[in-house]
Structure 1
Amino acid sequence: MIKVGVVGMGMGGSYGAKLHAIEGVEFSAMCARTQTTLDRRSKLYKEEIGAEPNQYLSVDDMLANETLDGVIIVTPSSTHHEIVVKVANAGINVLIDKPIDINQKNIEIIREAVDRNNVLCGVIYPNRCNSVFSGLKKIVSENLLGKPLLCDVRLKFFRDQAYYDKGGWKGTWEFDGGGSLMNQGAHPIDILCWTFGKPKSIFGSFAALNHNIETEDWASGVIEFESGVRSAITTTTCVAPKTDKQLFDFHAQEGSVYIENGKVLESSYDDILELEPCKFEHPVNDFADAIINNRPPMVSIEEASWSVNIIEGFYKSSKEGKLIYL
Structure 2
Amino acid sequence: MDEPANAPKRPHVPKGPNVPRTADDPAQDFEAHRRHLVGLAYRMLGSVAEAEDAVQDAYLRWHGADRAGVANVRAFLSRTVARLCLDRLRAARARRETYVGPWLPEPLLGAEELSAGTASEYAADLSVGLMLALERLSPLERAAFLLHDVFDVDFSEVAGLLGRSEEACRQLAARARTHVRTARPRFPVAAEHGSRLVAAFAEAVQRGDPDGLARLLAADAVLHSDGGGRRTAALNPIVGADRIARFFAGIATKFPGVIATSRGATLNGLPGLIITDADGLPQTMAFEIVDGAIAAIYFVRNPDKLGHLAPRRRPGAPP
Question: Structure 2 length as normaliser, TM-score?
Answer: 0.24
Question: Structure 1 length as normaliser, TM-score?
Answer: 0.24
Larger C-alpha radius of gyration, 1 or 2? 2
In terms of fraction of residues, the more strand-rich structure is 1
In terms of fraction of residues, the more helix-rich structure is 2
